[in-house]
Amino acid sequence: AQSVTQLGSHVSVSEGALVLLRCNYSSSVPPYLFWYVQYPNQGLQLLLKYTSAATLVKGINGFEAEFKKSETSFHLTKPSAHMSDAAEYFCAVSENTDKLIFGTGTRLQVFP
């Protein structure tokens, strides 16, 4: 069965520092992987998705993620954090269905 594990429910960084949010997946077939962001009191919006076209995926707001099959990982990174990046981030996986399986989320705090 497919599943997603997000390591670290809270991550804190200083403005300008590297952002690294971790996601590991379990899937019996090549997965499709997504990162969503949720700003306070809002719904989720897509940051980026991996669908096997390229292992390094670029998303909105300067975020990117790299699919590493050998490590079953899909970590989200941003070179320089901005105050506006403070939000909750969800990794999700989908196999050959229309259902998404979400991780438990990582709340990112950015300090000035």
Least distance to another protein from the beta carbon of 44, Å? Answer: 4
Complete DSSP assignment for 45-71: EEEEEE-SS-SEEE-GGG-EEEEEGGG
CB of 75 to another protein, least distance (A): 17
Q: Which residue has the tokens 């490590």?
A: 71
Under a CB-based contact definition with an 8 Å cutoff, are residues 47 and 36 in contact? Answer: yes
* Mask for 48-87, x = binds another protein (CB under 8 A): -x-x------------------------------------
The candidate with the shortest Cα–Cα distance to 74, out of 52, 42, 96, is: 52
15: nearest Cα among 112, 88, 91: 112
Figure out which of the listed residues 64, 72, 105, 109 binds another protein, where binding follows CB under 8 A: 105
The minimum distance between CB 15 and another protein, in angstroms, equals 26
For another protein, what does the binding mask look like between residues 16 and 45, x meaning CB under 8 A?
----------------x-x-x----xxxxx
